[in-house]
Structure 1
Amino acid sequence: MDARKPVEPEADSARAYFEETRERPRRSMLRLGILLSIVVAVVAAVAIWPQPVRDAAEKAVAIAQGFMPGKHEAEETPGDKPETKTANAGERVFRPTKEQRTALEIKPVAPGTFRPEYAAEGRIAINEDDNVPVTSPYSGRVTKVLARAGDDVKAGQVLLTIEASDMVQAQNDYQGALNGLNKAQALYKLEQNIASRQQELFQARATSLKDYEQAQNDIIAAQSDLKTAEASLQAVRNKLRLLGKTDDEITAFEKAGRMSAETEIRAPIAGTIVQRKVGVGQYISSSGDPLFVIGDLSTVWLIANVRESEVPKVRIGQEIDARIVGFPRTIFRAKISYVATSLDAATRRLGVRAELDNPDRSLKPEMFANFTITTGGDRFSPSIPSAAVVYEGEKAHVWVSRPDGAIEARDVKLGLTNGDNVQVVDGLKNGEEVVTRGAIFIDRAASGSNAS
C-alpha cells in the first residue's frame, strides 16, 4: 500500500473525536487548578492584605464563579447565566445560580442595641486638685537633690538642700535680734531695781515725787523695749524657719553662735514626685519655676479633646469610656465633671474632663487615650452587619433575599453604629434576610447585566 495515500474520511473523524475527548479532562483540570489558585489567593488576601487588595481578590473569585462578567462568560450555557431584571420601575432583582448562591452569606435582620455616642482623643493627666508645686522661698545654689521623679515621699521629707545667700543675712539678723533682746532684758531688770529703790526712798520721804515718777516711767519704757526686742527675735526666728531651719537648729545656734549656710527644702504633702526640674549645682531663685511637683496619683484626670462639630452634644454628667493602649482589654469609665468655656485656638477642640480612681496607680500621666462619650440612652432597632450595606453617594441599599430565591435591592436609611453592626432606621424589618457577604459583587454583577 502507498504510504502517501490519503487517510479515509471516517478514520480522520474518529481521530478528531478521540483527540477532543482526551482534551476535555485536561481543560477541566486546568480550570479547577485556576479556581483553586484564586481561592488560595483570596484566603491570603483576607488574612493579611488591605481592604482594596481584598476587594480585588474577591472580585477575581466573583468572576471565576460567574458573579461578574469575565473572559469565560461566553462559555456559560443559557440556563446557568444569572438573571437581573426590573420587576417594577426602579426595582432591581438578581437571580443567582445555585453555585453563586452557595458562595453568598445570607443572615436575618436581628434586633440590636445602639447608644448615641461620639469619639474623641486625649490623655491621662495628674489631678491638679491634689498636686502641689514645690518652690524655693529664697535664692541660692543647689548642693544636694534627694528625690527623683516617681519617688513616693512623706510630708516633711527633705527633697534638696541649697546654700542660700539669704541664710547668712538671716543668721546676722538673728544674732542682732538676740543681742537686742539680751540688752532689753538687762535694761528692764535694771529699771525694775531703780524703780523699787525709788519707791522705798519715796515712802521714807528721802526722795522727791518727781524722781519717783521718773523711775516709774523708765520701767514702762524698758518694758516696751523688751517686748519690741522679743518681737524682732521672733520675726527673725520665723525667717529661719522659712529658710528650712528647725527649732532645734535655731536653739543650737543661740548657744553656739554658728549655723550652716545650707538649708533644706521639704515636701509639703505626701504623694508621688511627678515632675523634677532641678539638679545639683543649679542656681535657683525665689521667683523661679517649681523645683518639684508632688501629686496624689490615687486619682487621675481624663482629658478629652472634642471636635468642634460635636461640641453641642457635650454635657456635664455624660458617661465617658477610655481605652488606653497599654490596657487593650480594659475600659475605664467615668463621668464628665468639667467642660472648658472655650475651644483651643490651635487645635479647634473643646477640652472636657473626668476624674477617675487609680488605686493601684497603673495609669500614668500623659498616657494617650481614645474616648467614647455617650450622649443618650440605649435604642433598640433592627441591626445588620455593615458589610451588607452598599453605598451609592449619600444613599445606601442592601440586597434582600426573597422566598422565590431571587435577591432584590432595597434602599435603607441607616442610623447609629455598634462595632461591626449598623442601625436600620427605615427599609428593613426584623427577620428579613439580607446578603452579608458578597453584596458588593452582586451589585456589580447586576449593574453589568442587561435588564430585561
Structure 2
Amino acid sequence: MNRRVIISVIGALVVLGLTGAGAYHLGIRAGAHGAAPAAIATPGTDKTERRVLYWHDPMVPGQKFDKPGKSPFMDMDLVPVYADEAQSEGGVAVSPGVQQNLGIRIAEVRKGSLASTLDAVGNVAFNERDLVLLQARSSGYVEKLFVRAPLDPVRKGQALLQLYVPDWVAAQEEYLAIKRMPAGGETVGLLDAALQRLRLVGMTEQQVRQVSARSKVSPRITVTAPVDGVVSELTVREGMAVSLGAPLFRINGLRTVWVNAEVPESAAAQVRPGMAVRATSPAFPGTEFSGKVEALLPDVNTATRTLKARIELANPGGKLVPGMFATIHMAPAQSSETLLVPSEAVIQTGTRTVVITAPEKGKFAPMEIATGAEANGQTEVVKGLSEGQKVVVSGQFLIDSEASLRGTLQRLGGAASAEPMPTITAKNPTHRATGEVEQIAKDEVTISHGPVPSLKWPPMTMGFAPPAGGLPKEIKVGDTVQFEFQASDDGMFKIISISRTASASGDGK
C-alpha cells in the first residue's frame, strides 16, 4: 500500500514538472513575439514597486508597449521607462550621478551690458598716405649716390643723389648771356623768356634764384629727401642715365603706420571710423600706441569670416615697422542692458541656434533662441529666454546624445505635444562596433555585434541597412567585421563603412 502511494506521488510530480516545463517554453515563445507572460509584472509597476509608464526598445524609442517582453525589432528585452525617470515633455531627465559624470554645469540667464572692449589682432604696414615718390625732373646722368640700399632710413633734407643735367647747361648759359646784355625794352622780354625756359627744363625757383645770384652755370642738381622715413624702393645706381619722369626713390614715412586688424564678422557692427583705439606689440612690452580706426574695409575673408579694419597709429621714434604683430584694443559704445548667457551654452546647428534649459532639477529641455552681439565670453539673447532661467553651460552635447537615445528628438518633432517644440538638430553622430555577419539580404545585413559604448548598447544581434553603394564583395556570412553606422530618419541604423578585420581577412575565406 505504501509503495502505491509513493508511486502516485512521484507520478504527480512528473506531471507537474512536465506541465511547468511546457508553460515555461510557451512563455519563452510568447516573449519572443512581444507578448509578456502575465506573471512577469503587474501592468504599471515592477517588482521594485516603481511605477512604469511603458516599455520600449531603446533603438526604436518611438514604439511603446504596455507589457514587458522581447523586442519585436531585434534580439533584446524591452526596457521599462519609470515615472520617476521619465523625460519631461520636450526634454530629458538625467540622474544626479550621471550629471556629475558628464560634468554638467548650469548658469542663470541674467540682465547686463556686454563688456565695452573689443580686441583684434593684425600686422603693421606702411601708411600709404605718407608715401613719397621721387622722379627725375630732367634727363641726365647719376654722378653720385648717397643712399645705396633699400630700407635705409633717411631724414628730411638728407642728400640722396647728384644728377648731371646737360639740358640745364644750355638754358643757364642763354639766361646769363641775356642778363649781361645792356638794359633795354627788348632785353626785359628776352630775360623773362630765358627764365621761363629754366623752369621748363625742370629747375625749381630756388635753383633759378641761385643761378641768377651767382651768375654761374650750375649743371648738377642734388636730390634731397622731402620727409623722414625709409627708402622702400631704389631704382638707380651710379653712372646710370635717367630720362624725364623716371622713378628714382620711393620713400615711406614712419610718423604714422597702419595696422590691418582682423575683426570678427559678428563684431563688425561695433567698429566705427574715427573710434579711438590703443595698441600693444610683443616687440615693446608695456608700451601702448594710440590711434584711431581709419576705415572698415569692404572685404570679408571667407575662410576666417573676418573683415579688415584699417587702424592708423601714431609711431613716435619710428618704433613700429611693417610686419610687426600688434593687438588692437577698441572701446565700442556702451550697449543697452539686455539678456546675457555664457557663449559656451549656445549651440549653433547651422539652421538654428539652441540652448539646453534646466526648468527643473534633473530635467533638461532644448530651447531655440535668437542671439545678438558677442563679447568676452557672453552672448546677447534677443528672443527665446527670460531672466532667471537656467541653461546648461557644459555637457549639453552629451545631454543631446542622451535625448536622442531616449527618443526626445522624435517627441519634439512628432505629435507627442500639442504645440511643437524646437528640436536639436546637431550633426548625426557616427558609432563604431565589431561583430560577425549572420545574414546578408538585399536591404538588410544582420550582424551579431559587441557592446557599443557611444550608445550604451549591450552585445546583441540586429539588422542594419547596407551602405549606399552596397556591401563590399569580399564581405561574406560568418566574417568578423568592423563597421561604422548612423541612425537614419526611418528609425533604422545604416552602415556607413564596413571592412573585414585582420583575422577575418587572413583566414582564406
What is the TM-score with the length of structure 2 in the denominator?
0.49
Query: After superposition, what is the alpha-carbon deviation per residue over 1:241-261, rounded to whole angstroms, capped at 9, x for unaligned?
Result: 54996977887773xx7x6x5
Q: How much does 1:98 deviate?
A: 1.4
Task: Name whichever structure is richer in strand by fraction.
Answer: 2
Structure-1 residue corresponding to 2:164: 163
Pairing of 1:109-128 with structure 2 (within 5 A): 109=108, 110-114=110-114, 124-128=124-128
Q: CA RMSD in A?
A: 5.2
Please tell me whether the aligned partners of residues 400 and 435 of structure 1 are also in contact (alpha carbons under 8 angstroms).
Answer: yes
Distance 1:282 1:366 in 2: 33
Choose which of 170, 173, 176 in structure 2 pairs with 1:175: 173
Q: How much does 1:121 deviate?
A: 9.4
Q: How much does 1:156 deviate?
A: 3.1
Structure-1 residue corresponding to 2:374: 417
Please tell me whether the aligned partners of residues 256 and 314 of structure 2 are also in contact (alpha carbons under 8 angstroms).
Answer: yes
Q: How much does 1:172 deviate?
A: 3.3
Q: How much does 1:407 deviate?
A: 3.1
Q: How much does 1:392 deviate?
A: 4.3
| Change in CA separation of 1:393 and 1:84 when aligned onto 2, cut-off 3 Å | farther
Distance 2:186 2:359 in 1: 109
Structure-1 residue corresponding to 2:504: none
| Change in CA separation of 1:410 and 1:96 when aligned onto 2, cut-off 3 Å | farther
Structure-2 residue corresponding to 1:224: 185
Distance 1:449 1:408 in 2: 13
Distance 1:404 1:309 in 2: 34
Q: Which runs of 5+ in 1 are unaligned?
A: 1-73, 186-221
Establish whether residue 265 from structure 1 lines up as the match of residue 223 from structure 2. Answer: yes
Distance 1:430 1:312 in 2: 25
Query: After superposition, what is the alpha-carbon deviation per residue over 1:150-206, rounded to whole angstroms, capped at 9, x for unaligned?
Result: 44434432111233342xxx2234334434443x23xxxxxxxxxxxxxxxxxxxxx
SS in 1 for 2:392: strand
Please tell me whether the aligned partners of residues 137 and 202 of structure 2 are also in contact (alpha carbons under 8 angstroms).
Answer: no
Q: Which runs of 5+ in 2 are unaligned?
A: 1-75, 412-509
Return the letter of the residue paired with 1:223. G
Establish whether residue 138 from structure 1 lines up as the match of residue 138 from structure 2. Answer: yes
Establish whether residue 279 from structure 1 lines up as the match of residue 279 from structure 2. Answer: no
Q: How much does 1:325 deviate?
A: 8.7
Query: After superposition, what is the alpha-carbon deviation per residue over 1:263-287, rounded to whole angstroms, capped at 9, x for unaligned?
Result: 32122x2311342232314432222
| Change in CA separation of 1:414 and 1:173 when aligned onto 2, cut-off 3 Å | closer
Q: How much does 1:332 deviate?
A: 6.8
Q: Which has the higher contact order (CA 8 A, sep 6+)?
A: 1
SS in 2 for 1:412: strand
Return the letter of the residue paired with 2:134. V
Distance 2:259 2:371 in 1: 32
Q: How much does 1:138 deviate?
A: 0.9
Query: After superposition, what is the alpha-carbon deviation per residue over 1:53-82, rounded to whole angstroms, capped at 9, x for unaligned?
Result: xxxxxxxxxxxxxxxxxxxxx9xx9999x9
Pairing of 1:340-379 with structure 2 (within 5 A): 355-365=312-322, 377-379=334-336
Return the letter of the residue paired with 2:140. G
Distance 1:439 1:308 in 2: 26
Q: How much does 1:331 deviate?
A: 8.7
Distance 1:311 1:387 in 2: 21
| Change in CA separation of 1:236 and 1:112 when aligned onto 2, cut-off 3 Å | same
Task: Name whichever structure is richer in helix by fraction.
Answer: 1
Structure-1 residue corresponding to 2:352: 395
Please tell me whether the aligned partners of residues 292 and 312 of structure 2 are also in contact (alpha carbons under 8 angstroms).
Answer: yes
| Change in CA separation of 1:416 and 1:330 when aligned onto 2, cut-off 3 Å | farther
Please tell me whether the aligned partners of residues 123 and 323 of structure 2 are also in contact (alpha carbons under 8 angstroms).
Answer: yes
Pairing of 1:308-347 with structure 2 (within 5 A): 316-317=273-274, 334-337=291-294
Return the letter of the residue paired with 2:250. V
Distance 1:96 1:350 in 2: 45
Please tell me whether the aligned partners of residues 272 and 296 of structure 1 are also in contact (alpha carbons under 8 angstroms).
Answer: yes
Please tell me whether the aligned partners of residues 123 and 368 of structure 1 are also in contact (alpha carbons under 8 angstroms).
Answer: yes
Q: How much does 1:367 deviate?
A: 6.3
Return the letter of the residue paired with 1:95. V
Structure-2 residue corresponding to 1:95: 94
Distance 2:405 2:372 in 1: 30
Structure-2 residue corresponding to 1:438: 395
Query: After superposition, what is the alpha-carbon deviation per residue over 1:97-137, rounded to whole angstroms, capped at 9, x for unaligned?
Result: 41443542313224453379999998655445544322211
Return the letter of the residue paired with 2:105. I
| Change in CA separation of 1:157 and 1:305 when aligned onto 2, cut-off 3 Å | same
| Change in CA separation of 1:262 and 1:339 when aligned onto 2, cut-off 3 Å | same
Distance 2:123 2:329 in 1: 13
| Change in CA separation of 1:300 and 1:390 when aligned onto 2, cut-off 3 Å | closer
Identity %: 26
SS in 1 for 2:337: strand
Q: How much does 1:448 deviate?
A: 0.6
> After the TM superposition, which of the residue ranges 317-326 and 432-441 deviates more from structure 2?
317-326
How many correspondences in the alignment?
Answer: 324
What is the TM-score with the length of structure 1 in the denominator?
0.54
